[in-house]
Amino acid sequence: MPNPPSLRAFAIALAALAHSATSQAAPDASPHAAAKAIYAASCASCHGKDLHGGGASSLADGLWQFGGGGQIRRNIMFGIPEAGMPAYGEQLSDPEIRQLVAYIHDAHDQAQIPRPELPEVISTRDYDLSLTPVAKGLTVPWAITFLDHDTALITERGGSLRLVENLQHNPTLHAQPIADIPAVIAAGQGGLLDVVADPDYAQNQWVYLTYSHGLPKDVAEGSSKPRRMTRVVRGRIRDHAWVDHEILWEARPQDYSGSRVHFGGRIAFSPEGHLYFSVGDRGGMNRAQKLTQPSGKIHRIHPDGSIPEDNPFVTAEKDVYPSIYTLGNRNPQGLATHPVTGEIWETEHGPQGGDEVNRVIAGANYGWPLISYGINYNGATVTERTAQEGLQQPIWYWNPSIAACGLTFYQGDPLPRWRNNLFAGGLSYETLMRLVVVDNRVIHQEEIFKNLGRVRDVQTGPDGALYVVLNSPDTVIRLSHQATRAGSGDGNAQPTPARP
């Protein structure tokens, strides 16, 4: 969390003033010449001549205390006043800031500073957690699900479904991906997305997938800019191959688009056996308010793809998607089932600022883009309004955004103090947050870790450990209860009563 204005920030600012900003960069023919000159004049005094070694933090080590990805641009534009980072939005143009960000990214690539090794233990308020990698050497893993106590499936965004066996004692990633997985379009934020085992997997062996794919016509014609969309399917795995493939939901062809962003793609099952899934706004924010568009929505179907008769918009006019359950959702990247109430909870990416936690309520409108706690990535205001009658307020929001991704209510036995707590990952903030929820309100937040990697997914495992899917490093880790530490053992802790 950002520190209050500190002596340190003050000292850094003083040092910057003292530094002669007249030190000119030599003529330079590299693609970053312009950015280098701006950097030397405006940034080097605090962040160091070579993007590290200054009074302020390194910009070349790939570790972002205040968010990577789009947040870097935001932090340069708006500054981080509480930490002593000035705002440059007035002084530098948008293209100049973009050039700076590209320069910083390249500097990081060139510096090849290895990320610190993952720690073996993470200390939190209640527990010391052992950290064990259960699958390494993946490529952009996106989601994890458990087939039984000892077996997990992991999606890789590029289009592979991977099997981990012997999860508990000697986790082993099967060298071959599952064969015959449907073709995906892996570009931008799209590709093979969520994987969820049927709640009755032991009886029926169904596995559910979401992915982005192209219209058959565009694919057949080899279009360079195929229109694409999220799709929901199920199948079974037999002899290490995908069989019994069934398409459960897909959009009408006219609702596919060339956009490479905001596919949503999370799945969750309610205790009554409904399948909920998310579709982001596909980069077209006004779609989120239209019931004739599938984008910017949470949908609800039966596990065989049929539409529940009591869906909220089932009897609306004919062009409305009957699968729509809620609207006004920007890009939901977390869906989880509340263990006590059975309600579905959701996290979604706001624009800059305003990542939300919502309860998914039939027919509710979550307001994107009419209301939001965020502003656009280029600094433009999307809306002045944060509230409006008839539109849901989030249960909780993060500003600045953590890029909320992955969501689970903890339900295991080994960490009883955390039972029914909500765990939310953050991509750009590289963080795992624990939210204590009482009476549908978040009363406490703890950052479980920071800067171990971009958190893509988090799930409670069959052993009651937390499994976290990280990107860079592309690793799945298990966080399990380490044998007691002084003063905080759970030897005589009472299980937390179930709190709705």
Report, as residue numbers or ranges, the catalytic residues. 262
The nearer residue to ligand HEC, 42 or 460, going by C-beta atoms, is 42
d(CA 442, CA 439): 8
Q: What is the DSSP letter of 126?
A: S
Q: Shortest approach of ligand HEC to residue 403 CB, angstroms? A: 13
Cis peptide before 95, with omega less than 30 degrees from 0?
no
Using rule CB under 6 A, residue 46 touches ligand HEC: yes
In the list 60, 77, 100, 458, the residue contacting ligand HEC (rule: CB under 6 A) is 100
Which of 99, 101, 23, 113 lies closest to 61, judged by CA?
A: 113
Looking at the chain, the number of H-run helices and the number of E-run strands are 7, 25
Using rule CB under 6 A, residue 470 touches ligand HEC: no
In the list 36, 60, 62, 72, the residue contacting ligand HEC (rule: CB under 6 A) is 72
Using rule CB under 6 A, residue 86 touches ligand HEC: yes
Using rule CB under 6 A, residue 201 touches ligand HEC: no
In the list 60, 62, 78, 83, the residue contacting ligand HEC (rule: CB under 6 A) is 83
HSE, side-chain direction, 13 A CA sphere, residue 180: 12
Using rule CB under 6 A, residue 59 touches ligand HEC: yes
In the list 62, 70, 84, 334, the residue contacting ligand HEC (rule: CB under 6 A) is 84
Residues sharing a CB contact under 8 Å with residue 217, sequence separation 6 or more, in sequence order: 253
Using rule CB under 6 A, residue 451 touches ligand HEC: no
Using rule CB under 6 A, residue 143 touches ligand HEC: no
Using rule CB under 6 A, residue 395 touches ligand HEC: no
Neighbours of 481 (CB within 10 A): 20
DSSP conformation letters of 321-349 = -TTEEEE--S-EEEEEE-TTT--EEEEE-
Alpha helix (H) residue ranges in 3-128: 7-18, 33-42, 44-47, 70-78, 94-111
Site string for ligand HEC, 10-39 (x = CB under 6 A): --xx--x-----------------------
Geometric angle at alpha carbon 415, from 411 and 420, rounded to 5°: 35
Q: Shortest approach of ligand HEC to residue 42 CB, angstroms? A: 4
The nearer residue to ligand HEC, 70 or 322, going by C-beta atoms, is 70
C-alpha 213: how far from chain center: 20
Alpha helix (H) residue ranges in 319-360: none
Using rule CB under 6 A, residue 427 touches ligand HEC: no
Enter the tokens of residue 120.
């073996």
In the list 43, 122, 152, 448, the residue contacting ligand HEC (rule: CB under 6 A) is 43
Using rule CB under 6 A, residue 42 touches ligand HEC: yes
The overall longest dimension of the chain from CA atoms, in Å, is 72
Task: Decide: 328 and 382 in contact? Cβ < 8 Å.
Answer: no
The nearer residue to ligand HEC, 47 or 228, going by C-beta atoms, is 47
The nearer residue to ligand HEC, 43 or 405, going by C-beta atoms, is 43
The nearer residue to ligand HEC, 3 or 223, going by C-beta atoms, is 3
Which of 183, 169, 63, 190 lies closest to 115, judged by CA?
A: 63
Q: Shortest approach of ligand HEC to residue 347 CB, angstroms? A: 21
Task: Decide: 478 and 414 in contact? Cβ < 8 Å.
Answer: no
Residue 256 has phi, psi (to 5 degrees) of -80, 155
Using rule CB under 6 A, residue 88 touches ligand HEC: yes
Using rule CB under 6 A, residue 352 touches ligand HEC: no
The nearer residue to ligand HEC, 4 or 497, going by C-beta atoms, is 4
Geometric angle at alpha carbon 89, from 328 and 34, rounded to 5°: 120
Using rule CB under 6 A, residue 76 touches ligand HEC: yes
Count of residues that interact with ligand HEC, criterion CB under 6 A? 26
The nearer residue to ligand HEC, 35 or 424, going by C-beta atoms, is 35
Neighbours of 326 (CB within 10 A): 27
- List of residues contacting ligand HEC (CB under 6 A): 9, 12-13, 16, 42-43, 45-47, 56-57, 59, 64-67, 72, 75-76, 80, 83-86, 88, 100
